[in-house]
A and B are shown apart, each in its own frame.
Chain A
Amino acid sequence: MSEAGSSHVDSSLAGELCRATGLNVAACYQCGKCSAGCPMAAEMPLAPHQMLRLAQLDAREKLLSDPSPWLCLTCETCTARCPNEVDPARLIDGLREIVFKRDPAAAPLRLRAFHQAFLHQIRSHGRVFEVGLIVGYKGRTGALFDDVLNAPAVLRRGKLALSPSNIEGREEVRRIFEACQQTAARKEARP
């Protein structure tokens, strides 16, 4: 958007966020309404309006190495209430996407491991096989003895399938993953 009609590519974080989301982080005037309603602000080192401010200031290192974007639950309260239609939830997704594609190790281990294990399930089966998700998550975090779930009680209630349900269109789903990876690689090479 900002570089339309010019061959110049805006290499700032705001420019990168604009290419990822189509949104203009400069539109935020720091009223703080997003942070006031955010259920996770109390646990975030940077509240939502502070994340947007750092993006405006191009404080790339500080923002992209901070756990705060990963603590967003995408409850969309900020986006529903933003008086200037900045869409903080989508911008926070944009920050995560930038980190996840370039340097996933910068994301907090457990939250990153959950996403990786979850996506692995979709890619392998077309659907999420919960037992596989839990095993994949534990394997990635090493949290083998965490009380992740009271497994016997969950199984007794018939809440977990014992084998994955593989869809017929698995190959189609795998191709979607591959096409998205190729698109991301093209953008990285030629933003």
Chain B
Amino acid sequence: MKLGYFPGCSLHSTAKEFDLSLKAVAGPLGVELEEIRDWSCCGSSSAHATDHLLSTALAARNLSLAEEQGLSRVMAPCAACFSRLATARHELAHDEAQARLVRPMLARSFKNAVEVQNVVALLQGLAGRIKATAKPLTGLRVACYYGCLLVRPPAIARFDDPEDPTSMEQVVAATGATAVKWSRRLDCCGAGFSLSRVGSVVRLGRAILEDAKASGAQAVVVACPMCHSNLDLRQSAMEARGASLGLPILFLTQLVGLALKLPPASLGFERHFVSAAGLLRAIAAPAALQLPAPRG
């Protein structure tokens, strides 16, 4: 299966391990990723918060490049990139006035014919193959964290149920791990305030991680580089009230990679702030997972 790949800025920097682990699992799962040549930033929150037309045009440039490259579908692992590309595709199909403004800004012809997909949808579609290939991660309990833009707004994401999704849990089930039930899997982590309003990120992330911990999860699984950096890099600040969280934050592709028995070094775990070393040792051990019992 050939699939267009839009890494976005984060997967080339702060979330390099998302890129590494995605590429590592793609081969064994029969997915050929073809990166969009000369892609540019999707515009992210800064474009749509200040100039809507700019946000559409920046995203449309990437869709037009994918089209020129002969790709019919593009997968954007970053939830924010996915949302921006899907929003542009949707609006250019439904808002003729905006489309008339954007088309002349693009340096090539553009039919708006490329579909946009997120990484969870991709892996959900491959769940059967994952299960058939996996050495089951029996005993591992993880909290599936969706955050915002994988499922919202429903008219754009057109993916899963916006209030009660199950796609990540299906992928986790295919790896043999157990997805815990918890409440805050659709709450916002603070997203783009990571530099400009750290206090909000810490408040929101703490509530999410305390809930995941209380639900018995040994790790949190995410599918967005911004969720990852907020919950991983800022986790020590979220622990400031004294209670230790110690929750490794894994990309869904890293979890799938472990189930496919890929060497952890190829999945980029050493790049995390909250060490997953204990988790990896337990997974490698022949006995069922012997991890410290969660609090509560």
Contact = CB atoms under 8 A, between A and B. Distances in A.
B45 interface: yes
B188 A175 contact: no
Interface string B142-159: 000001110111100000
B233 interface: yes
B118 to A, nearest CB: 14
B241 interface: no
Given A89-B153, A100-B50, A179-B105, A128 B196 contact: no
B268 to A, nearest CB: 9
A159 B271 contact: yes
Contact of B271 (A158, A168, A172): A158
Given A126-B40, A153-B273, A80 B153 contact: yes
A127 B51 contact: no
**Chain A interface, >50% SS class:** helix
A154 B192 CA distance: 18
A97 B195 contact: no
B45 A176 contact: no
A74 B49 contact: yes
A110 B151 CA distance: 29
Given A39-B188, A134-B195, A161-B13, A180 B57 contact: yes
Contact of B273 (A43, A97, A157): A157
Nearest to B42: A122
Contacts of B188: 39, 73, 75, 77
Interface in A14-48: 20-22, 39-40, 43
A179 B60 CA distance: 14
B148 A77 contact: yes
Interface residues of A, number: 63
The contact size tier of chain B is 35 or more
Given A20-B52, A130-B14, A137-B196, A176 B153 contact: no
A42 B43 CA distance: 28
Contacts of A113: 196
Interface string B240-271: 00000000000000000000000000000011
B52 A173 contact: no
B187 interface: yes
A184 B105 CA distance: 14
A105 to B, nearest CB: 14
B192 to A, nearest CB: 7
B14 A110 contact: no
A70 B147 CA distance: 20
A148 B38 CA distance: 30
Interface string A141-185: 000000111100110011111000101110011011101100110
A74 B38 CA distance: 28
A75 B191 contact: yes
Interface string A124-137: 00111010011001
Contacts of B12: 127, 161, 165
B52 to A, nearest CB: 6
B249 to A, nearest CB: 13
B48 A79 contact: no
B52 A160 contact: no
B98 to A, nearest CB: 9
A121 B101 CA distance: 24
B61 interface: yes
Contact of A127 (B41, B47, B190): B41
A150 B237 CA distance: 12
A124 to B, nearest CB: 11
A40 B200 contact: yes
Interface of A: 20-22, 39-40, 43, 70-71, 73-77, 79-80, 87, 89, 93-94, 96-97, 100-101, 110-111, 113-115, 118-119, 121-122, 126-128, 130, 133-134, 137, 147-150, 153-154, 157-161, 165, 167-169, 172-173, 175-177, 179-180, 183-184
9 contacts: A75-B148, A75-B149, A93-B52, A119-B46, A147-B198, A167-B40, A169-B40, A173-B61, A177-B54
Given A76-B153, A159-B14, A165-B12, 8 more contacts: A20-B52, A70-B49, A79-B152, A80-B151, A121-B41, A147-B198, A157-B270, A161-B13
Top 4 nearest A-B pairs (CB, nearest first) are A75-B188, A76-B152, A118-B46, A114-B196
